[in-house]
Amino acid sequence: MDTVEAVVTQIQGLSGGSGDVSLLHSLLKQADDLLHTESTRLAPFLDQLDPSIHSLGYLYLLEACTSTPILKEQANQLVVSIASFINNCAAEQIRLAPDKFVLLCKRLRDQVILLEAPMRGVAPMLTAVRKLQSSSELLTALHPEFLLLCLLAKCYKTGLRILEDDIFEVDQPRDFFLYCYYGGMICIGQKRFRKALELLHNVVTAPMSTVNAIAVEAYKKYVLVSLIHNGQFSATFPKYTSSVAQRNLKNFSQSYLDLANSYSSGKISEVEKSIQTNREKFEAGAYLKLVFLDKNLGLVKQVVSSMYKRNIQRLTQTYLTLSLQDIASTVQLNGPKEAEMHVLQMIQDGEIFATINQKDGMVSFQEDPEQYKTCEMIEHVDSSIQRIMALSKKVTAMDELLSYDPLYLAKAGRERQRFDFDDYDTVPQKFNI
Amino acid sequence: MEGEEETSAGAMIDEIYSNGGDAKRNRPIISGEALDIEAYASLYSGRTKITRLLFIADRCENRQMQMEAYRMAYDEIKKGENTQLYREVVQKIDGRLGPQYGLDVPWTEAVDRRAEQRKEKLENELNAYRTNLIKESIRMGYNDFGDFYYAHGLLADAFKNYVRTRDYCTTSKHIIHMCLNAILVSIEMGQFTHVTSYVSKAEQTPEAVDPVTVAKLRCAAGLAHLEAKKYKLAARKFLETGAELGNNYTEVIAPQDVATYGGLCALASFDRAELKNKVIDNLNFRNFLELVPEVRELIHDFYSSHYASCLDYLGNLKANLLLDIHLHDHVETLYDQIRHKALIQYTHPFVSVDLRMMANAFKTSVAGLEKELEALITDNQIQARIDSHNKILYARHADQRNATFQRVLQTGNEFDRDVRAMLLRANLLKHEYNHKASRKL
Cβ of A370 within 8 Å of Cβ of B402? The answer is yes
Q: Which residues of B touch A367 (CB under 8 A)?
A: 399
Contact A381 B428 (CB under 8 A): no
B346: closest CA of chain A, how far (Å): 17
Which residues in chain B touch residue A398, judged by CB atoms under 8 angstroms apart? Answer: 423, 426
The reported pLDDT for the residue numbered A33 is 80
Closest partner CB to B394 (pick from A169, A207, A320):
A320
State whether B409 and A169 contact (CB < 8 Å).
no
Is B416 in Cβ contact with A167 (below 8 Å)?
no
3-state secondary structure chain B: CHHHHHHHHHHHHHHHHHCCCCCCCCCCCCCCCCCCHHHHHHCCCCHHHHHHHHHHHHHCCCHHHHHHHHHHHHHHHHHCCCHHHHHHHHHHHCCCCCHHHCCCHHHHHHHHHHHHHHHHHHHHHHHHHHHHCCHHHHHHHHHHHHHHHHHCCCHHHHHHHHHHHHHHCCCHHHHHHHHHHHHHHHHHHCCHHHHHHHHHHHHCCCCCCCHHHHHHHHHHHHHHHHHCCCHHHHHHHHHHCCHHHCCCCCCCCCHHHHHHHHHHHHHHHCCHHHHHHHHHCCHHHHHHHHHCHHHHHHHHHHHCCCHHHHHHHHHHHHHHHCCCCCCHHHHHHHHHHHHHHHHHHHHCCCCEEEHHHHHHHHCCCHHHHHHHHHHHHHCCCCCEEEECCCCEEEECCCCHHHHHHHHHHHHHHHHHHHHHHHHHHHHHHHHHHHHHHHHHC
What pLDDT does B31 receive?
A: 32
pLDDT computed for residue A155 by the predictor: 85
pLDDT of residue A418: 58
Give the model's pLDDT for residue A313. Answer: 86
Nearest neighbour of A318 by CB, restricted to B377, B415, B431: B377
Compare all CA atoms of chain B with the CA of A394 and give the residue at the minimum distance.
B423
pLDDT of residue A284: 61
Contacts of A205 in chain B (CB under 8 A): 421, 425
CB–CB contact A170 B420 (8 Å): no
How close, in Å, is residue B408 to chain A by CA atoms?
9
Contact present, A25 and A97 (Cβ < 8 Å) = yes
Angstroms from B397 CA to nearest CA on chain A: 12
Statement: residue B358 has pLDDT above 80: yes
For testing contact with chain A, the best of B353, B400, B427, B433 (most A CBs within 10 A): B427
Distance from the Cα of A428 to chain B's closest Cα (Å) equals 21
Searching chain B, which residue's CA lies closest to the CA of residue A362? B389
Asked if the model's pLDDT at residue B439 lies above 70, the reply is no
Closest chain B CA to residue A139: B424
CA torsion through residues B348, B352, B358, B361, sign: negative
Best mutation target, B425, B429, B439, to test chain A (most A CBs within 10 A): B425
Q: Which residues of B touch A407 (CB under 8 A)?
A: 433-434, 437
Across the interface, do B408 and A395 touch by the CB < 8 Å criterion? no
A66 three-class SS: coil
The continuous run of DSSP H or E covering A322 comes out as strand A319-323
Terminal Cα-to-Cα distance of chain A (whole angstroms): 49
Q: Would you say A151 and A292 are in contact if contact means Cβ atoms under 8 Å apart?
A: yes
CA pair distance B119, B112, nearest whole angstrom: 10
CB contact (8 A) between residue B378 and residue A314: yes
Closest CA to A37 of A11, A12, A67: A67
Mutation pick from A321, A382, A433 vs chain B, by most beta carbons of B within 10 Å, is A321
Q: What is the pLDDT of residues B175-218, one digit of tens each?
A: 888 888 899 999 988 888 989 999 988 888 877 778 888 888 89
Interface of B with A (CB under 8 A): 373-374, 377-378, 385-390, 394, 399, 401-402, 405, 408-409, 412-413, 415-417, 419-429, 431-434, 437
Please give the residue of chain A at the shortest CA–CA distance from B438: A407
The pLDDT of residue A288: 43
Q: Which pLDDT does position A386 carry in this prediction?
A: 93
A373 to chain B: closest CA residue? B402
The answer to whether the Cβ–Cβ distance between B421 and A201 falls below 8 Å is: yes
Interface test with B, best of A177, A204, A241, A318 (most B CBs within 10 A): A318
Q: Inter-chain contact B388–A176, Cβ cutoff 8 Å? A: no
Nearest CB neighbour to B389, from listed A362, A387, A388: A362
For residue A401, the model assigns a pLDDT of 86
The pLDDT tens digits of the residues spanning A224-271 come to 899 888 888 888 888 888 888 888 888 888 888 888 888 888 778 888
Residue B30 has pLDDT above 50, yes or no: no
Closest by CA to B140, choosing from B114, B177, B188, is B177
Nearest to A320 among B385, B417, B422 (CB): B385
Query: What is the pLDDT at residue A315?
Result: 85
What pLDDT, on the 0 to 100 scale, is given for residue A428? 59
pLDDT in the model for residue B236: 92
Which residues from chain B sit within 8 angstroms of residue A320, using beta carbons?
385-388, 394
Q: What is the pTM of this model?
A: 0.70
Average pLDDT over residues B117-145: 89
d(CA B374, CA B385): 9
pLDDT at B26: 28
Query: Residue A426: its pLDDT value, please?
Result: 60
pLDDT at B6: 46
A168 contacts on B by Cβ (under 8 Å): 420, 423-424, 427
Residues in B touching A372 (Cβ below 8 Å): 401-402, 405
Q: State how far the Cα of B41 lies from the Cα of B45, in Å rounded to an integer.
A: 8
Least confident of A54-63, A207-216, B62-71, B115-124: A54-63
Q: Closest-CA residue in chain A for B429?
A: A207
User: Which region among A73-82, A287-296, B242-251, B276-285 has the lowest average model confidence (pLDDT)?
Assistant: A287-296
CB B404 within 8 A of CB A377: no
Separation CA B145–CA A304 (nearest Å): 67
CB pair distance less than 8 Å for A388 and B377: no
Kindly state the average pLDDT of the residues B400-418: 90
Q: A–B: how many Cβ contacts below 8 A? A: 102
Across the range B71-99, mean pLDDT stands at: 83
Q: Which residues of A touch B373 (CB under 8 A)?
A: 318
What's the whole-number mean pLDDT along residues B23-44? 58
**Contacts of residue B394 in chain A, CB cutoff 8 Å?**
320
Q: Mind telling me how many Å the CA of B87 is from chain A's nearest CA?
A: 48
Main-chain dihedrals φ then ψ at residue B352, nearest 5 degrees: -140, 145
Q: How far is A97 from chain B (nearest CA, A)?
A: 21
Q: Do B405 and A321 touch (CB under 8 A)?
A: no
Distance from C-alpha of A172 to C-alpha of B434, rounded to nearest angstrom: 12
Please determine, for residue B49, whether its predicted confidence score (pLDDT) is greater than 60: yes
Among chain B residues, the shortest Cα distance to A398 is held by B423
Cα angle for residues B333, B335, B339 (degrees, 5° grid): 120
Nearest-Cα distance to chain B for A201, in Å, is 9
Q: How far apart are CA A70 and CA A107, in angstroms?
A: 10
Sign, Cα dihedral of A326, A328, A329, A330 = positive
Which of A143, A240, A320 should we substitute to test contact with B (largest number of B Cβ atoms within 10 Å)?
A: A320
The residue that leads in pLDDT, B231 or A286, is B231
The answer to whether the Cβ–Cβ distance between A207 and B432 falls below 8 Å is yes
- pLDDT tens track of chain A, all 433 residues? 567 777 777 777 777 777 777 788 888 888 788 777 777 777 777 777 777 777 777 888 788 777 777 777 777 877 888 888 888 887 877 787 888 888 888 888 888 888 888 888 888 888 888 888 887 788 888 888 888 888 888 888 888 888 888 888 887 778 888 899 899 888 988 888 899 999 999 888 888 888 888 888 888 889 889 988 888 888 888 888 888 888 888 888 888 888 888 888 877 888 888 888 877 777 665 444 333 344 677 888 888 888 888 888 888 888 888 888 888 888 888 888 888 888 898 888 888 888 898 888 888 888 878 888 889 989 999 999 999 999 999 999 988 988 888 877 877 776 665 565 555 656 555 555 4
- Asked if pLDDT for residue B20 goes beyond 50, the answer is no
